[in-house]
Amino acid sequence: MTYNTLKWELQGTIGTITLSRPEKRNAISVEMIGELLAVLDEAEASAVRVVIITGSGKAFCSGMDIDGLLTIASQTPKDHLEDSERVAKMFRRLYTYPKPLIAAVNGAAVAGGCGIATLADFTLATPEAKLGYTEVRIGFIPALVAVFLKRQVGGKHARDLLLTGKIIDAAEAFRIGMVTEIVPAENLMARARQIAETLLSVSPTSVVRTKKLLAAFEEDALDAEIALAIQENADIRSTLDFREGVSAFLEKRTPQWKGR
């Protein structure tokens, strides 16, 4: 397949996905979600044993595309639900992917982009990388990422990040468990490939079965929590605070919250 929003490269049995919308700081679009799901399917069906995900340009992924925010304002409740389900499918696929995933975070990873970065099995980040879930700043709700974040960093750290919408540096992300390792920018991809080579040296059957077992431990709870998160993600879009938050963001002004 050919892709418009990402690049897919093979080096032996290591595949590299590069999010490739540098002019948009690799922001997530509907097309990117579809292509990311497609390339993951392609990799799963191939001889690839390890997948690396990184970003082009100065950012890893800045979250939802602004054009997408403009579209949301005119969507119907059915549209909201379908959009929420689409994003949830992407996150669930990354979190339960049967082959090892390594995220090489080369810059900012914000909101949904932070979700993509931290749902990998290994998350490497440069010292300059910034991470965070900024949804509450625009009257949105980090419902879908919350399902996974609380499992990774615990309740207190998850509340701190999700309720304040703050951005943290790579060192803090490493301290609380969002990042596996901090790597100088010039060594980032080499280190990702080094980890990939380590994974290639062990039994592929054992790796796949271990990942399948880890996913099975959480399957029922994930199903229930994701269903709840999808509904919340859709419902918040009909609130006055969401509409005000998006308008204020696009107009580069301070939001005047309505509280409803």
Q: Which of 9, 135, 181, 218 is catalytic?
A: 135
The answer, yes or no, to whether residue 106 has pLDDT greater than 90, is yes
182-232: pLDDT as tens digits: 999 999 999 999 999 999 999 999 999 999 999 999 999 999 999 999 999
Residue 224 lies in a domain: no
Spatial contact of 94 and 45, defined as CB atoms under 8 Å apart: no
Residue 148 lies in a domain: yes
Q: Residue 98's domain is classified under what CATH number?
A: 3.90.226.10
Residue 103 lies in a domain: yes
Could you give the strand order of the β-sheet that contains 59-61, starting from the edge strand earlier in sequence?
59-61, 108-110, 130-132, 167-169
Report the mean per-residue pLDDT for the chain.
95
Residue 215 lies in a domain: no
39-55: pLDDT as tens digits: 999 999 999 999 999 99
152-194: pLDDT as tens digits: 999 999 999 999 999 999 999 999 999 999 999 999 999 999 9
Instruction: Output the six-digit token pair for 75.
Output: 């969507």
Number of domains in the chain: 1
End-to-end CA distance of the chain: 45
Residue 210 lies in a domain: no
Residue 68 pLDDT:
76
Residue 186 lies in a domain: yes
**Domain with 87 in it:** 6-200
- Write down the pTM of the prediction: 0.94
Helix axes 77-95, 204-235, angle to 10 degrees: 160
Spatial contact of 232 and 141, defined as CB atoms under 8 Å apart: yes
| Total residues found in the chain within this entry | 260
Mark whether 197 is an active-site residue: no
Residue 123 pLDDT:
98
Residue 238 lies in a domain: no
Residue 242 lies in a domain: no
